[in-house]
Copies of this chain bind each other. A is one copy, B any other.
């Protein structure tokens, strides 16, 4: 089921400060900030040779990462996204094995314009997993 690691997402309280750190001190290739109002985040992509890191800053009043940043005010690793070939097949297999899919279980369109689902961290050793059909 699991294919490539699509990205690791890091929630940050101050995107400009994080960009300065990754582009400057860490010498990484960093995209322009991209506000995604419908996802409640502004995102910056850090391009690595084999995958990418996404820095997420809350956007708007109902950001899905607001609660995480309340618990971790300095920021932290928020989730890992794996690619899957068929997200509905993956969902059905996970549910058959007793795993919880977040929300209503219907894939929504993720930040890359592709179908995504999130899995309950309590079922995966405290790790919030995103699945993306590529």
**Residue of B whose beta carbon sits closest to that of A99:** B25
A51 at the interface (CB under 8 A from B): yes
For this chain, the copies found in one complex come to 2
Q: How many residues of A are counted as interface, with CB atoms below 8 angstroms from the partner's CB atoms?
A: 42
Partner of A126, one of B4, B49, B75, B127: B75
Which stretch, A31-39, A58-66, A76-84, A109-117, touches the partner chain B? Answer: A76-84
Interface mask (A76-110 → B, CB under 8 Å = 1, otherwise 0): 11001010000000000110010100000000000
Give the interface of A toward B (CB within 8 A): 1-5, 8, 10-13, 18, 21-22, 24-28, 46, 48-51, 53, 55, 72, 74-77, 80, 82, 93-94, 97, 99, 121-122, 124-127
